[in-house]
Amino acid sequence: MEFKKIVINNRSRYIHHKDCESVKQMHQENKIVIYPKDTSDLEGYYPCGHCFKKIDYHILAREVYLSRINKLKIRREIELKKINERFDKRENRAYDRYLLTIEKLEK
């Protein structure tokens, strides 16, 4: 999905087209103008119902949602990898202790 110039209201957390009526009424300190590269730049913001057509709104909402899901999947994989590494270390330590105990008993 290609994005053009987008105006974000930092206070209300809404995304607007540059020509939206809401942008004209917006306080200057709440305006942020960006050229997003992908939906991750828009994470945490919501499309304006006035300036986004229904199709645009649903496409944008879906893209943002999928971006969040992908980030969560990546985080989950990283966490599982960390947990497996910790478990392997503990398992190795437990096995080493077991071998030491056997060696002591054999002496």
**pTM for the full model?**
0.45
Please tell me the least confidently modeled range out of 14-23, 29-38, 50-59, 75-84.
Answer: 50-59
What's the pLDDT band for 1 if we cut at 50, 70, 90?
A: very low
Rounded distance between C-alpha atoms, residue 92 and residue 94, angstroms? 5
**With 70 as the cut, is the pLDDT of residue 15 above it?**
yes
20-49 in b/e form (b: 16+ CB < 10 A) is bebbeebeeeeeeeeebeebeebeebbbbe
Residue ranges of domains in the chain: 6-106
Mean pLDDT of the chain: 77
